[in-house]
C-alpha cells in the first residue's frame, strides 16, 4: 500500500499538470499572436494618425517619448500632449522638444469633473481635440522605435480590427521590477485564449494595455470612448470591453519590436502603482480570492512540494514538485524569450507569484481603508 498517493502528492500533481497545460497554451498563443505585417501598406494608402499623450508630472520621461514620436516616418501625423495638472516641468519639456513642429499641439487639461478619474478624462480631452482617422493613445513613458506607428496602423487595418493593443517590450531594473513587470505579458499569453477572445462577443474575453492603444477614430466615438470608462481605474481593459459591447473587433498584438516601456522605477513606485489598481483586476474580493488561490496552487504548491519531498525524503513528492516547478519555469521562460525579458529570471517565478499575491492583498487593504491614490489624486 506504500505506492498509494497521499493527498499532498495529489494536490502537487494537479497544480503541476495545470501549470504544464498553461505553459503549452502560452506557446500556442504566441504562434497565434498578431505580428508586424511582412508587407507594409504604401504610405499614400494609410489613414492619418493622431498620437495622444496624457502627461501628469512626466518631466523626467516625456522627452524621449516625444522625440521618438516626432521622428516617425510613413504616416500623416499629428501629436497632441495634454499636461494634466502637472506640478513639475512637463510643459517645459514638451515645448523644448516639439515647439516649432507644426504637427505638435500642447493642451492644458481641465479640472477633473465629478465621476471621472484623471487618466480617462485626459484621454477623452485628447480624443476630442484629435483630427486623425486613427487614434494612438501612448503613455508618456513609452518609446517608439523607428517605423512603429506605420506598423501599428498596418496591423490595425490589415487585421480588420477596430482596436488593437500592441504590447511594448517591458524594461525592468532591480529585483522588484524584474520579478513583477514580466508578469504583464506572461499573464495574458498564459491565460487568455487570444483567437477565441477576438472572435467572442463577450466583453469579459478581452485584454488591453493602455501603454499603447491603436483605434479607429470613428469606432472610438461610436463606442463612447473614454466617456464609457470614466470612473475605471483599469481604463485600458474597460475601453477594450466598451468596444466589444458596441459590436466592434478588439485584439492584442506583439509590440516587442515596436516600443519599450519602463512602467515603474523601483519598488516604492511599483508598489504604489499596482496597489491603486489590482483590487479591480479580478472583479470582486471573491474573484481576487479565487484567482490568488489558483495562482498559489499552480505556481507555489509544486515548488513547496519539491522542498517538502527533499526534506522528508519522499522521492515521488519531490519528483512531482520538480515537474510542476519546471513546467511553470518553462512557460515563463518561453514568454520572456519572446517578449524581450531576461529568460534567467524565470527561475524565480514562484517569488514573482508570491509578490503578485502580496500586491493584490495590499491593494485590497488600501481599498478597505480608503487609502488608494495616484499622483496626488484619490482613486475610488
285 and 331 fall within a common domain? yes
98 and 171 fall within a common domain? yes
- Does residue 2 belong to any structural domain of this protein? no
Q: What is the DSSP letter of 83?
A: E
Examine the pLDDT at 257 and tell me if it is beyond 90: yes
Please give the pLDDT value at position 376.
84
Number of domains the chain contains: 2
Report d(CA 219, CA 251) in Å as an integer. 14
Pick from 223, 243, 265: which residue ends a domain?
265
The least confident of 38-52, 253-267, 296-310, 311-325 is 38-52
Q: What confidence tens digit (pLDDT) does each residue in 78-89 have?
A: 999 999 999 999
23 and 110 fall within a common domain? no
- Does residue 3 belong to any structural domain of this protein? no
230 and 294 fall within a common domain? no
Report DSSP letters for 160-220, one per residue: T-SEEEEEEEEP--HHHHHHHTTHHHHHHHHH--HHHHHH---TTS----TTEEEEEHHHH
Report d(CA 103, CA 79) in Å as an integer. 6
The CATH number of residue 169's host domain is 3.90.550.10
Report d(CA 233, CA 120) in Å as an integer. 9
67 and 117 fall within a common domain? yes
Q: Kindly give the interhelix angle for 285-299 and 301-312, rounded to the nearest 10 degrees.
A: 40
Examine the pLDDT at 151 and tell me if it is beyond 50: yes
- Does residue 161 belong to any structural domain of this protein? yes
- Does residue 17 belong to any structural domain of this protein? yes
Q: Is 71 exposed, middle or buried (0-12, 13-18, 19+ CB in 10 A)?
A: exposed
**Cβ-contact 251, 207 below 8 angstroms:** no
Residue (of 67, 10, 1, 70) closest to 320 by Cα position: 10
- Does residue 273 belong to any structural domain of this protein? no
The contacts of residue 127 (CB under 8 Å, 6+ apart) are: 52, 135, 217, 220, 221, 225, 226
- The rounded Cα 153 to chain-centroid distance in angstroms is 19
190 and 166 fall within a common domain? yes
201 and 248 fall within a common domain? yes
Please give the pLDDT value at position 130.
98
Pick from 219, 239, 265: which residue ends a domain?
265
Examine the pLDDT at 339 and tell me if it is beyond 50: yes
89 and 191 fall within a common domain? yes
Give the mean pLDDT of 222-251.
96
Give the mean pLDDT of 255-281.
95
- Does residue 236 belong to any structural domain of this protein? yes
In the structure, what pLDDT confidence band is assigned to residue 117 with cuts at 50, 70 and 90?
A: very high
Q: Which domain holds residue 224?
A: 33-265
318 and 231 fall within a common domain? no
The contacts of residue 284 (CB under 8 Å, 6+ apart) are: none
232 and 83 fall within a common domain? yes
- Does residue 270 belong to any structural domain of this protein? no
Give the mean pLDDT of 29-42.
90
87 and 117 fall within a common domain? yes
**Cβ-contact 34, 254 below 8 angstroms:** yes
14 and 146 fall within a common domain? no
- Does residue 196 belong to any structural domain of this protein? yes
CB atoms within 10 A of CB 91: 16
Pick from 235, 265, 295: which residue ends a domain?
265
- β-pairing, 77-83 vs 104-108, is parallel
In the structure, what pLDDT confidence band is assigned to residue 116 with cuts at 50, 70 and 90?
A: very high
Please give the model's pTM, rounded to 2 decimal places. 0.94
Please give the pLDDT value at position 1.
42
Quote the mean pLDDT of the chain.
Answer: 95
Examine the pLDDT at 167 and tell me if it is beyond 70: yes
Amino acid at each position: 500500500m506504500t505506492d498509494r498517493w497521499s493527498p499532498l502528492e495529489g494536490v502537487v500533481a494537479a497544480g503541476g499538470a495545470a501549470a504544464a497545460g498553461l505553459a503549452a497554451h502560452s506557446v500556442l498563443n504566441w504562434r497565434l499572436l498578431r505580428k508586424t505585417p511582412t508587407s507594409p501598406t504604401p504610405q499614400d494608402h494609410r489613414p492619418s494618425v493622431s498620437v495622444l499623450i496624457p502627461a501628469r508630472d512626466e518631466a523626467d520621461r516625456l522627452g524621449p517619448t516625444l522625440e521618438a514620436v516626432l521622428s516617425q516616418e510613413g504616416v500623416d501625423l499629428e501629436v497632441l500632449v495634454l499636461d494634466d495638472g502637472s506640478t513639475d516641468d512637463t510643459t517645459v519639456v514638451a515645448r523644448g522638444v516639439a515647439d516649432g513642429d507644426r504637427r505638435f499641439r500642447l493642451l492644458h487639461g481641465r479640472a477633473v469633473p465629478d465621476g471621472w478619474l484623471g487618466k480617462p478624462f485626459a484621454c477623452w480631452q485628447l480624443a476630442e481635440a484629435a483630427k486623425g482617422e486613427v487614434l494612438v493613445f501612448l503613455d508618456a513613458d513609452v518609446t517608439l522605435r523607428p517605423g512603429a506607428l506605420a506598423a501599428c496602423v498596418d496591423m490595425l487595418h490589415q487585421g480588420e480590427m477596430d482596436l488593437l493593443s500592441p504590447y511594448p517590450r517591458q524594461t525592468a531594473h532591480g529585483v522588484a521590477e524584474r520579478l513583477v513587470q514580466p508578469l504583464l505579458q506572461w499573464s495574458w499569453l498564459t491565460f487568455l485564449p487570444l483567437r477565441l477572445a477576438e472572435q467572442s462577443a463577450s466583453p469579459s474575453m478581452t485584454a488591453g494595455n493602455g501603454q499603447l492603444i491603436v483605434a479607429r477614430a470613428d469606432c472610438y466615438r461610436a463606442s463612447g470612448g473614454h466617456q464609457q470608462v470614466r470612473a475605471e481605474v483599469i481604463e485600458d481593459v474597460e475601453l477594450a470591453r466598451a468596444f466589444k459591447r458596441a459590436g466592434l473587433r478588439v485584439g492584442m498584438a506583439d509590440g516587442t519590436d515596436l516600443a519599450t516601456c519602463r512602467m515603474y522605477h523601483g519598488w516604492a513606485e511599483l508598489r504604489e502603482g499596482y496597489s491603486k489598481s489590482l483590487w479591480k483586476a479580478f472583479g470582486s474580493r471573491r474573484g481576487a480570492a479565487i484567482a490568488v488561490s489558483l495562482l498559489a496552487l499552480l505556481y507555489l504548491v509544486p515548488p513547496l512540494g519539491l522542498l517538502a519531498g527533499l526534506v522528508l525524503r519522499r522521492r515521488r513528492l519531490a519528483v512531482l514538485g520538480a515537474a510542476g516547478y519546471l513546467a511553470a519555469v518553462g512557460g515563463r521562460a518561453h514568454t520572456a524569450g519572446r517578449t524581450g525579458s531576461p529568460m534567467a529570471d524565470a527561475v524565480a517565478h514562484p517569488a514573482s507569484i508570491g509578490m503578485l499575491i502580496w500586491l493584490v492583498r495590499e491593494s485590497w487593504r488600501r481599498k478597505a481603508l480608503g487609502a488608494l491614490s495616484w499622483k496626488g489624486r484619490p482613486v475610488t
